Each structure stands twice: as C-alpha cells, then as structure tokens.
Chains A and B, each alone.
Chain A
Amino acid sequence: MNGYVKNTSKGVCIDIEGKIRDIYHFIDHLKQNPPKLANIDKMNIEDKKILNYKSFEIKHSDEEANGFTFISPDIGTCEDCLRDIKNNKDRRYRYPFTNCTNCGPRFSIVKKLPYDRILTTMERFEMCDLCKDEYKNPLDRRLHAQPNACPNCGPKIVLIDTFGNKIICNDPIKQTIQFMKQGMILGIKGLGGFHLACDAKNKEVIQILRNRKHRPNKPFALMMKDINTVKKYCYLSEEEEKVILSNKRPILLLNKRKEKLPDNIAPSGNKLGVMLPYTPLHYLLFEEKIEVLVMTSANVSKLPMVYKNEEALEKLKGIVDYLMLHDREIYMPMDDSVSRVILSEQRVIRSARGYSPIFMRFKNIKDIFACGSHFNNTFALSKNENVFISPYIGDIENVETYNHFEKNVYHIKNIYSINPKIIAYDMHPNDWSSSYVNKQNIEKIPVQHHHAHIVSCMVENKIEDKIIGIAYDGTGYGTDGNVWGGEFLICDYKEFERVAHINEVDMPGGDAATKEPWKMAISYIYKTYKNNIYENIPLGLKDKNIKVIVAIIKNNINSPKCSSMGRFFDAVSALIGFKGKVTFEGEAAILLENKADQNEAGTYDYDIEYINRTHRVNTDKIIKGIIEDINQHISDARIAKKFHNTVIDFSVKICGIIGQKHHINKVALSGGVFQNEILLKGIYEKLVSKGFEVYIHKYIPCNDSGISLGQLVVASSKAKG
C-alpha cells in the first residue's frame, strides 16, 4: 500500500492506495490497535481518485483554517523512556528531558497548531543527527516526537542561588538532592511550572515552607519514589493503584497509615495527596535515598503558579533557598491534577496536567464561550460541535489570576481560531466576569450557578431529559437574590425549577461568615432558639462575640439569606470544635468529614415543610439534637457522623417526594460538597437502593471548576442564534 499520513488541524489524514482487502485490513487494524496515546474520536472514510503513489510517507503538517484538533495533555514518562534513562549504556542515561511519542510534554509547550516542533517551545533546540534519525525513522518510537531531545542537543538544567548566581557543580541534580537532604527548600522547574520541594521527612523545613508560603494548614502534595513507597505510607485499593500509576499521574488523595510522616504535611487530615514521578527529572530526584518529597506548586497563596525562569527568581526568592531551572520554555503553565477514588472510580477534583484540556464531541451545540466561576475557575469553548474545557485556572481573586485566565482564553481562541458569538456567565451581579462580559459585544446569557452544576453532571453522563439535581455547595447566587447552595432542582439543559432546598439562615457579615464558621454556627443557633440563644451556646463557642453576631442578624446588617449546604457543614463543624478562620476552601467541612465515626448509624430529627410550592428542610431539630448531644458529652466523632447520616437521610427522602410527584427517577449529584466521600457514597447508595438512577461526576469536577461546561450547554439551549 502507498500514500501518505499527515497531521492537519482537522485531525490525522491518511491517504492510502492499495488492494481493497488490504485497505480494509489496515482500517480494522487501526481501529483495534491504535498507537498508544491515540484516542480515535471519529473516523471518516471516503473514496478518492487514484493518484498512483509510489511510496508511503509521513508528510509535513500544513496549516488549515477552521480546524479543531485535539491537543494531547502532557503525559508522564513511559516505561521505555524510563529504561533509557536508567541504562548507563544508553545515550540518554540520566537525561532529564527524555521523551518519545508515547510520553512527555504536549499542551504546555504548544504555541500554535498544527502540532509541529517549530510551533512549540522546542523550536530553539536544533536536533542532532542521532535525534533527527530517530525522528524520521518510522520504526523508532521517537518518530515525529516533537519534543525529542538528547544531552547533546536538548534542554539543560542549571542550579542557581537566590542572587541568580549559578552553582558550580558536577551534577546539578545530585547537588539539588544534597541541598534537600540538608533541609533546604528548592524551587524546581518541571513540566507545567515550578514546584517548591523539600524533604518530606523533615518537619522543621516543612514548617518553614508553610510560613514562607503563607499557607498555615492546607495539606501539601507529596511525590513518592515509587509505588512501594506509596504503599508504605498509605492504604491503596486496586483502583487507586491503577490511577496513581496511570500516565496522567495525578495527585491522588489516599488514606494515610498511622503517623510515619511529619503531621504538618496534612495537619488534622487523615489523607495525603500523593503523586509518582512523571518526568525523568523527577525520577532522578529519588536516586539518592530520598523517598518522599513535598512537591507543592510554586506560588504564594492564591496567586498563579510561577512558570517562567525570569519571574522565578523575583517571585520565589523569599521562599526558596535554591532554584533548579531548565531552558525548555513552558508556554502554557499547568498545575498538577488532583483526583480521588470514591465508589471504586476515579473522581477528578482538579483537572489540569495529564487530564486537560478536555475535548468532547457534542451534537447541535452552538459556538459559545463560557466564562466559568469565580472560584476554581475553568472556561469552556465550543466550535463546530466540539467542546473544549480549559485546564484549571484558579480563584479569580487577583489580577495575576485574571491575567492568567485572559492569557489562556487568548491562546485557545487563537490556536483554534474560535470567535464565538455567544457568551455565558454566572448571573451573580458582582461577579468578576460581569466586567469581562460587558466588554464583549455579543449575545450574553447569564446562567444560574446550580443549574450549571447539575447540567455539567448531566452532560458528563449523557443525560438529556428532565432530572432531579441535588446541588450542594458553598454559595451561588440564586434567582431570588439570595445565596443558594442546598438545592434540589428539576431541570433539563434549558430550564430549571427549584423544587426544594434547605432552610435559609442569615450569613452574618456576608463573606466574613464563610471565613469564620463560628459565625454560621451562631446564625443556626439563633434561627433555632431565637431569644433563648444564650442558654444554648455550646461551651466551645462561649468565648466568641456572640452578641455582635446576633445584633447584625437582628438588624439585617450585611447579612444575606443563605440556604447553602457548605455553610451548614461549616456551622456544625464549628459547633463541635472547628476554631478560628478557615485558611483554605472547605477546611471546616473536611474536618467534619475526617472526624466522623464510620460505625455510627444514628440520625437527627428534621422536618420537611411545604411552603410556596417548595419543599424546605427545617434544620431546627438537627441543631437541637446536636446541642443536646454536646451537652450529654456524646463524642464529636459520633455527632459528626450522625450529622452526615441526617443529610443523607433528608436528601433521599426529598428525592422520594419530588420523584413521585414529577415522575422522575433520575438524580444527578453535583456541587463541591460532593467531594465529601461519606455524603456522596451515602446518598448514591441509598438512592440506588430505592430504585433511582443516580449520576455523579468523574472527569468533570463536581466543584466549581466543572461549572463552565454547564454554563456552555445551558447557554446553547437558551440562545436565539
């Protein structure tokens, strides 16, 4: 058979001539045994005129307008490449930038499409003859591996101090390891950006890192030498082992075994976020008897990760002792992904390196840009029935993160030449996106936050008909101007009806109550006991300025009404011991989950009221029950679990009521609160046992980073154009 194959921006194009039977055989083979990283989305086969090709060749890509090609995410080092760097006879022995067609950088180095070396940041490295041969040889696994490199022609590592002086040494990697063993903090440039790394067995240096990074409590991610090390420190199920070993190499949340690593890695948590090495450079860091490293993205709290050499010195000099740089430029920075396994399947919490960008085919979807959420932002774009979801951007609190958002948007729009005529965004009137949206002179479609959550889950599970959606999250702006977050919607892609929710309480001081859960506790107690509040304050809250909080609630000063499940969790967490301010999203709720005694099966009483054609969970009896338990010295662990059980119980009960009334037996669960394993598992299993079909997230996060997809699909159904 003769002809050619080439990369086009519409996809791979193969023109092949030969005997009909051979060609069918070829197509079958391609379908059944595609190349390792290939993911055949769609195959178009058409007859063409015979051109009498004399050979089969790989042609250079040419530029085409209007195409939409999948750019692969960055992939962890493959077994073959690993063998190369470990083999002291190989020319890539210990070479940190070894890669092949089956592994290595992709999205992070692509400047433009089509995916060719000259349009990536590898452009400045001219391949040596040996590399060029591999690149051209159809039998070599480096055939057309765009970032192909070797010690002679590829990127190199350099170690510098915080004054920018190069550290003179024989082997910068070995020197780096030495520094870490001595208790230093290193800034290490990796695949998608810089990490801050230190020895994870050195408690003091971890504390220093916390102080320098302004990160008092949020758990640090770890990188472990190999799977056996992971098993030494964590419990690992079969599925978890599969996920952590996959070439996507996420940070996987695992239950830790008892007290072997310093407890300030994940204070008060019983989970560790662990990943395995995913570039040759990382493997080399574990050569000299280090088995666990703290590997946290290099930024100061809430700011985007540092990824350029020039900015590293300036921005990290107050944090690191030394910096390990390399000269392969990162074009699009990319955080590590975070995942966990619940109900025997992987649930992505943060979709970035290895997972993103996400591509989906979607019939009849209009061309739309969806801005995403304020916190945990991602955005989504569609063109010609292709949907693209950006990697994780972050919390748009700072101009720096906003600029990171704009850079990503510009990049994606540019490489795909997308210029949508419709923009979707959150309907919150003070949302960051409103100023962005106002600048665009296109059709604008506001989407309700929880509607977007549920639709994102429906889309992921390919459900199109009406469904019951349970959206449990922190806060989202509701159509009545209140803060929602404990919602039962009946919805399809276009419309939703709010059929039930948990009762509203005041959020004293607005956002301030999110930062200080005890304020929500006071608010719930006040709602429950009104003026008898003071007799019913648990001991742990007695030192707080309760009078003021009650006064602001009574006088309605800066106290919006909220029906948020996240705030309900916060309140209960504060009741049984969460002190002070939350220092990262979900901190109080996570504590409550961690505390829960798995063996407790009890529940608290509650009422479901029916007001204005809406069902409402009255939480008064729950609060009363908890306070009675506290007074009777029932353990926090039992109270925490009883609370979880109660939420599960009323969630299922409400589904029963509205399912029967509206003749719907499909339920979608979405919203950040469903990162809670007890809750997700509990509601899922109970609903299934009652005969419901239940849909939950997998690759689209249930938290706000999934919102952009929901916004896009809702807007497409609503749009006129």
Chain B
Amino acid sequence: MEIITLSHGSGGKTTHKLIENLFYKNFKNDILLQKNDSSILQKMNGKVAVTTDSFVIKPIFFLGGDIGKLSICGTINDLAVSGAKPMYITVGFIIEEGLEIGILEKIVMSMAKMAKQANVKVIAGDTKVVEKGSVDKIFINTTGIGLIEDRQLYLCANNIQEGDKVIISGSLGDHGMCIMSQREELGLDANIKSDCNLLNTLIKDILNTSKNIRIMRDPTRGGLATTLNEIIAHSNRSIVLNEKDIFIKEEVMSMCQMLGFDPLYVANEGKVVVIVSKDDANKVLDTMRGDPLGKNATIIGEIIDDNKNRVYLKTDIGGTRILNMHDGELLPRIC
C-alpha cells in the first residue's frame, strides 16, 4: 500500500511523479498542460467573478460525496449564484503524511469528474505534505474564476423589494446532518445523504427564466437562517418565512432533535435560495421543479418592508420567531 510521504511535497522527483501520474492525468487540459509557473488565460469577454474556499471536512468520504467533490461543487456553486458562468478552477492540497495514495487518487478523480461535468478547467494546482498530526488527512483549497456574460446582470441585496418571494430549491440540513451522522466516533447508524451537488445548470435555467432575480445564495455553513440574515442585513427590509412550507426530511429532523440543532442553521451543499420578484416567482418555481436538483423547490417566504433587517419565522402554531445570526456556539437560554 503506497502512502504519501514528506518527499511527495518536497518538489523533487517524487513530487513530479505524483503530479504527472495523478494530477495531470486526471485534470488534463490545454491550459494546465502549459506546465508553466503560472497558467496564462485568454482575455475574457465580460465581468470576471472570483471566489476561493478551503475544505477541511471530516470524514473525507461521506454518503453522497467526498472532500474532492465538495471542493469543486462548493466553489462552482459560489460562482453560479453570483450569476457567473464557471470557467476555471485552481486546486491546492495540504496533505498529512501517511495518507494512502489510493485515497488521494479517489479524491482527485472525484474532483476531475465534477469539473468535467461543470465544464470547468482545472488550470493550476499545488501540493504540500505536512508532518503527521499537522492536518487531519487532507485539506483542499479551490479558487474559481467565472464569467458574467450578461452585462445588465447585477445580483445584489439592494435590489430586494417588498413583496419579493423567497424560494428554496429543496430540503434543508441534509449535508450538515449527513456529516454529523457519519462521524465515526458518534457511532450513529443514520442513513442521511449529503445534498452535495453542482448547481450551475439549475442556476443558469433560473437566470434564463426571469430577469427579476434579485439575489441568489447557496446556504452552506450557518444554513438558511444565517444566509438570509447576511442578505437582509444590507437591504433595510425583513424576510418572513413560513415554517409549514419549509421541507426538512424526517431523518434530518430527528437527528437535529437528538443533537439539539436547528435545521435552519445546518449546512447545505446543493441548495440555492432565490429571491425573485413576486410576479416572476411562479415561473421560476416551475423552472426549478423541472430540474432534478430543484424538484422539491418551494416558495418559503417573502420580503416585508419593516426596516428592521430581521428574518422572521411564522411557526406552525401561529407565533413569530426571530431567526438571529448566531455568533459562536449555541448556548441554552436562561431558565
């Protein structure tokens, strides 16, 4: 069984072998194969979107994905929700010595598959190996570059207007609870699948359906509640959500209750939240439901003009809770 050693990151012969046999082989494309210190891109015709993200997930393989798939999907989705067509991606690995090369290979193949599916080129990369214990198995950083072809398109919280609808593409909390349930030491036997997926096609279709999309986001870390709080903080308006319209899978809900988490604050990796004009909402909803990744899309709320920058949740029994931005851990409240 071959394993990664410190020499794989030293820049010497072993490093080269790894790059040739693993990275070039899987990611190969004209730009990467320039094999220069930096990759040179052609001039892009439009506005350019850039995003970067690091992935430090544990476990690295989970039901519905792995750290490789996640590192490509996460970055591509960030480009897509900004209205950009994902074009290029760079990848950086920080690997703990001792990782099996077979595992690394699986991860790289998974990344290559996603990049291909999204029609994105991996154009640069880097590998570092660190001593045992310095990182947990493997960390991946990806940077994405996308092109905004439509010069009129400007997705921004300032666009939001009273009466606009909030649409979510499907169930909430799947990714976060999947990861939690598969942490080995917890010994849970739940079968929750992560929703980790590429959203670029779905989002392209949404943008082609309506010119009145105000803003889109993928509610990853912090979940829907945090994402909506971030959006609304810059808008002078508030959002009212209806609990009864929010879809949470039964197994996700019961895991949340067991661990004391609120599914509205749990991460998703294959969901998009769309704020769209009232008039276009149903049209957009139909489009979303036509895509397998949006088949459970629903309108979950709307924008109100109360100047308080709050996210409200109308509960099933008719009360209204404020969904605050959490800073740090969730502490039990007073008495």
Q: Which residues of A contact B (CB under 8 A)?
A: 214, 300-303, 315, 373-376, 397-400, 402, 426, 428-431, 435, 449, 473-477, 483, 485, 507-514, 545, 547-549, 551-552, 554-555, 557-558, 560, 562, 566, 672, 703-704
Contact = CB atoms under 8 A, between A and B. Distances in A.
A395 to B, nearest CB: 10
Nearest to B329: A558
A383 to B, nearest CB: 26
A551 B185 contact: yes
18 contacts: A303-B318, A398-B315, A400-B320, A426-B334, A429-B327, A430-B331, A435-B324, A449-B334, A477-B331, A510-B331, A510-B332, A548-B187, A548-B258, A555-B183, A555-B186, A557-B180, A558-B329, A560-B329
A426 B333 CA distance: 11
Most buried by A among B186, B261, B327: B186
Given A397-B319, A399-B322, A551 B188 contact: yes
Given A398-B319, A483-B332, A548-B259, 5 more contacts: A373-B334, A375-B334, A449-B335, A512-B258, A552-B258
Contact of A315 (B180, B185, B318): B318
Contacts of A485: 335
B317 A513 contact: no
A214 B317 contact: yes
Contacts of A560: 329, 331-332
A512 B257 contact: yes
A400 B331 contact: no
A431 B322 CA distance: 12
Given A374-B333, A375-B335, A428-B334, A513 B260 contact: yes
Interface string B246-268: 00000000000111110000000
B317 A558 contact: no
B326 interface: yes
A704 B327 CA distance: 25
B330 interface: yes
B326 A430 contact: yes
B319 A430 contact: no
A512 B321 contact: no
A564 to B, nearest CB: 9
A428 B333 CA distance: 8
Given A398-B321, A400-B319, A554-B185, A510 B260 contact: yes
Contacts of A508: 260
A639 to B, nearest CB: 26
A512 B335 contact: no
A558 B259 contact: yes
The 10 A-B residue pairs with the shortest CB-CB distance in the complex, in nearest-first order: A509-B260, A512-B260, A398-B319, A399-B320, A474-B335, A551-B186, A374-B334, A510-B260, A511-B332, A510-B332
Contacts of B324: 430, 435
Nearest to A554: B185
B259 A552 contact: yes
B321 A375 contact: no
Contacts of B27: none
B331 A300 contact: no
Contacts of A475: 332-335
B185 A477 contact: no
B259 A476 contact: no
A431 B319 CA distance: 19
Given A398-B320, A509-B259, A513-B260, A376 B335 contact: yes
Interface in B181-213: 183, 185-188
B312 interface: yes
A429 B335 CA distance: 14
Contacts of A428: 331, 333-334
Interface string B117-144: 0000000000000000000000000000
Contact of A429 (B259, B312, B331): B331
Contacts of B185: 551, 554-555
Interface size classification for chain B: 20 to 34
B335 A473 contact: yes
Contacts of A398: 315, 319-321
Interface string B289-332: 00000000000000000000000100101111110101111111
Contacts of B332: 475, 483, 507, 510-511, 513-514, 560, 562
A672 B258 contact: no
Contacts of A426: 334
A542 B326 CA distance: 35
B261 A672 contact: no
B317 A301 contact: yes
A558 B330 contact: yes
Contacts of B318: 300, 303, 315
A302 B259 CA distance: 24
B335 A558 contact: no
Contact of B321 (A301, A397, A431, A474): A397
Contacts of B312: 399
B320 A545 contact: no
Nearest to B330: A510
A509 B327 CA distance: 17
A703 B335 CA distance: 9
A435 B323 CA distance: 13
Most buried by A among B258, B260, B320, B322: B260
Contacts of A376: 335
Interface string B25-67: 0000000000000000000000000000000000000000000
Contacts of A514: 332
Given A214-B317, A300-B318, A555-B185, A509 B258 contact: yes
Most buried by A among B257, B318, B326, B334: B334
Given A300-B319, A398-B319, A551-B186, A511 B335 contact: no
A271 to B, nearest CB: 21
A719 to B, nearest CB: 22
Given A300-B318, A303-B318, A704-B335, A558 B261 contact: yes
A315 B257 CA distance: 29
A704 B332 CA distance: 15
Contacts of B257: 509, 512
Contact of B186 (A402, A449, A552): A552
A554 B320 CA distance: 35
A477 B322 contact: no
A152 B222 CA distance: 62
Interface in B205-260: 257-260
A552 B256 CA distance: 12
A509 B328 CA distance: 15
Nearest to A509: B260
A431 B333 contact: yes
Contacts of B322: 399, 402
Contacts of A548: 186-188, 258-259
B95 to A, nearest CB: 25
Nearest to A555: B185
A552 B261 CA distance: 12
A399 B321 contact: yes
A514 B261 CA distance: 13
A297 to B, nearest CB: 15
B319 A302 contact: yes
A549 to B, nearest CB: 8
Nearest to A476: B334
B141 to A, nearest CB: 26
A350 to B, nearest CB: 14
B187 A477 contact: no
Nearest to B261: A558
B330 to A, nearest CB: 6
A356 B47 CA distance: 64
Contacts of A547: 187-188
Nearest to A559: B260
Contacts of A402: 322
Most buried by A among B188, B320, B330, B335: B335
Most buried by B among A485, A510, A547: A510
A205 to B, nearest CB: 20
Contacts of B188: 547-548, 551
Most buried by B among A398, A431, A483: A398
